[in-house]
């Protein structure tokens, strides 16, 4: 079945350093979504990428969708302690008939720790 893999599993950085997490799907995706989960909290939607090669920015966060629409990355410039949490990518999870009903397959997430 469809698999979505994320690396690294853990990342420890000093405040001010950059951070990147990578997401790879076993299948071509119509879109990819990114979520952030703060410690003790629930996942919160960050962004959706749809087009091949698309790049979107949210302040210090840069999201990229690969040309083949099978991989994606999230890069954070100059991390801050508020960036701490787990970052998940997720792609549509279709049934055998090809309809996803909004279902998603989530990657295992990258746990980011920022040391002040």
Give the nearer residue to another protein in terms of CB position, either 50 or 78.
50
Task: Give min distance, CB of 78 to another protein, in A.
Answer: 26
Q: Which residues sit at the interface with another protein, rule CB under 8 A?
A: 30-31, 33, 41-45, 48, 50, 88, 92-93, 101-109, 111
Give the nearer residue to another protein in terms of CB position, either 16 or 26.
26
Task: Give min distance, CB of 7 to another protein, in A.
Answer: 13
Which tokens go with 13? 């950085």
Measured CA distances, 93 to 46, 48, 56, 69, 73 (Å): 19, 15, 23, 14, 19
From CA 83, how far away is CA 38, in angstroms rounded?
Answer: 8
From CA 5, how far away is CA 25, in angstroms rounded?
Answer: 6
Task: Give min distance, CB of 92 to another protein, in A.
Answer: 7
Which tokens go with 96? 């055998």
Give the nearer residue to another protein in terms of CB position, either 77 or 84.
84
């Amino acid at each position: 079945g469809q698999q979505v893999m994320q690396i690294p599993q853990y990342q420890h950085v000093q405040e001010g350093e950059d951070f990147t997490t990578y997401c790879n799907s076993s299948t071509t995706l119509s879109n990819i979504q990114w979520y952030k989960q703060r410690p003790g909290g629930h996942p919160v939607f960050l962004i959706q990428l749809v087009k091949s090669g698309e790049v979107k920015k949210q302040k210090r966060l840069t999201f990229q969708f690969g040309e083949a629409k099978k991989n994606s990355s999230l890069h954070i410039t100059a991390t801050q302690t508020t960036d701490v949490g787990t970052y998940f990518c997720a792609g549509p999870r279709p049934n055998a008939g090809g309809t996803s009903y909004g279902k998603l397959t989530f990657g295992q997430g990258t746990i980011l720790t920022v040391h002040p």
